[in-house]
Structure 1
Amino acid sequence: MARKLFNQSLSNYDTLKSRALQAIDTFVDLVYILNEEMAKELRSAIVKFYKLRYFHDFTNYVITIEDMIDITEHCLTNPVEKMQEIRAQFHSVIKNFQDIRHFETVDKCLMELPDEVAVAHCMLHQAVLFNETMQESLTKIVEIKTRQHAQDINITIYDVKNCFKDFVPDFYEQLLVDTYTETCGFLRILNASTTDLVNDKWRNNEETKFPKKWTPLLMLLKDKTSMRQSLQEPIILTLFAANLTSQDIVKTLYKD
């Protein structure tokens, strides 16, 4: 019975670690795709602002398009790097959190107690205690790290707007774009997923609801973005997103 309890505890422990990794991976994948969509919208807005059909003359702009591209890529780099860092950190913490039960206590049951009944009672008591201790310890780690990492990602995404405004005052007002702002639809989805992730129930034996709820949306977004990959060239994606006709694009790119 004691052996069964020990093994059951180890199995539950591994299951919790697996569920934690699955949940955070689902979250980071979702945020990555939403961030990619927001970045495309922002790049498209910049293309529109600089009137791409007059590609040959940007001399009248205070900030050249080359500078604006550098600023854009600088501000959009941090969230991507942060997501990669956070995924690696979470995986490292959860995978390396080892079973630290002290089995010498069980050995004392065998060596020091007077009869088999006392030994059996001691071993069962230790098995139950170890199970509760290990589950409680990992659950706390998962809850704390999940909240911390989800909030870090959220803050990083919201900092994109501040990054642009630090470089270019009234940047968003000029572009007339909602991307990375409070009214952005993608950010509302991100906020909802963040709330669900940090409020998920890690203290029961059921599967967490987050992957089950958000995986269908994630798969839909992955299918949608994979269809675009057939175009391959990012500049083409940006040009089409700017609502220009094929004739506009050809005239712009191949203008004498």
Structure 2
Amino acid sequence: MAKSLFILGRNNYDQLKERSLNATDMFLDLVEILNELMAKELRSAVVKFYKIKFLHDFSNYMINMEEIIDIMDHCLVEPVEKINFIRNQFHGMIKNFEDVRHFDTVDKCHNELPDEVAAAHCILHQAVLFNETMQESLVSIVEIKTKQCARDVNASLYDVKKCLDNFVPNFFDQLLVDAYSENCEYLKVVNASMTDFTTDKWRNSHQTLFPQKWENLVSKLKEKAKSLYGNIQEPLYMTLFSANISSQDIVKALYA
């Protein structure tokens, strides 16, 4: 019976680790896809602006298109790096939680107690205690780290607007684009998913609702992203495609 309890505890422990990794990956996948969509929207707005307005409205701030693209790439890189860092860190942390129970206490039950009934009772008690301690330790870490990583990712998305506004004042207002701002629909989805992600009850698998609620959306977004990436490989062409502008139009606008 004690052996069965130990094995049950180990299986529950592994299931909890798998559940936490899957939910975290799903959240980060969702944020990654939405971040790519926001970045594409922002790049498209710049391309459109140069096509339509050229430099007249931005002459006080921007010298040329190449310079602002360098500035944008600098500000857009943080969310991408943050998502990759958190994913690797979280996977490493969860995988480090291995079942390394030592049975010294169980041996003491055999060696120090007067009869088999007392020893059996002691062993069963230790089996339950081991399982509960292991599970509680991991659950606490998972709850803390999921909240922390979600907040870090969310903050890095909002920092894109601050970063760009520091380089080019009123950058978003002049582009008339909502990406990375409070009005951005993609960010509203990120905020909603983050709330669900951090309020999930990890201590009970039946109360962990995030995967069931968001799985379909993430799958559909992944499929859509794959089909788009399959048709258009180069980032420049992706930007031009989303802005409905050809490379010839860009050259003509810049050098006419």
TM-score, normalised by the number of residues in structure 2: 0.91
Whether 1:155 aligns to 2:165 is no
Long gaps (5+) in structure 1:
none
Residue 50 of structure 1 aligns to a residue whose secondary structure is helix
1:68 equivalent in structure 2: 68
Contact 1:53 1:251 in 2 (8 A): no
What one-letter code is carried by the residue in structure 1 that aligns with 2:161?
Answer: K
Shift of 1:97: 1.5
2:235 equivalent in structure 1: 234
1:93 equivalent in structure 2: 93
**C-alpha distance in 1 between matches for 2:242 and 2:60:** 22
**C-alpha distance in 2 between matches for 1:92 and 1:253:** 47
**C-alpha distance in 1 between matches for 2:222 and 2:15:** 26
Q: Which moved more, 1:93-102 or 1:4-13?
A: 93-102
Contact 1:75 1:164 in 2 (8 A): yes
User: How is 1:104-183 mapped onto 2 (pairs within 5 angstroms)?
Assistant: 104-183=104-183
Shift of 1:49: 1.6
2:218 equivalent in structure 1: 218
C-alpha spacing 1:205/1:196, structure 2 compared with 1 (3 Å): closer
**C-alpha distance in 1 between matches for 2:189 and 2:105:** 49
**C-alpha distance in 1 between matches for 2:162 and 2:28:** 22
Whether 1:188 aligns to 2:184 is no
What one-letter code is carried by the residue in structure 2 that aligns with 1:120?
Answer: A
**C-alpha distance in 2 between matches for 1:41 and 1:73:** 13
Shift of 1:60: 5.2
2:47 equivalent in structure 1: 47
**C-alpha distance in 1 between matches for 2:249 and 2:191:** 41
Contact 1:157 1:180 in 2 (8 A): yes
C-alpha spacing 1:130/1:59, structure 2 compared with 1 (3 Å): closer
**C-alpha distance in 1 between matches for 2:98 and 2:31:** 29
1:32 equivalent in structure 2: 32
Q: Percent identity?
A: 57
Residues 156-214 of structure 1, C-alpha deviation per residue, up to 9 Å, x if partnerless? 11110100011111111111110000110000100011111111111114373212221
Long gaps (5+) in structure 2:
none
TM-score, normalised by the number of residues in structure 1: 0.91
**C-alpha distance in 2 between matches for 1:35 and 1:174:** 21
**C-alpha distance in 2 between matches for 1:150 and 1:252:** 38
Contact 2:79 2:153 in 1 (8 A): yes
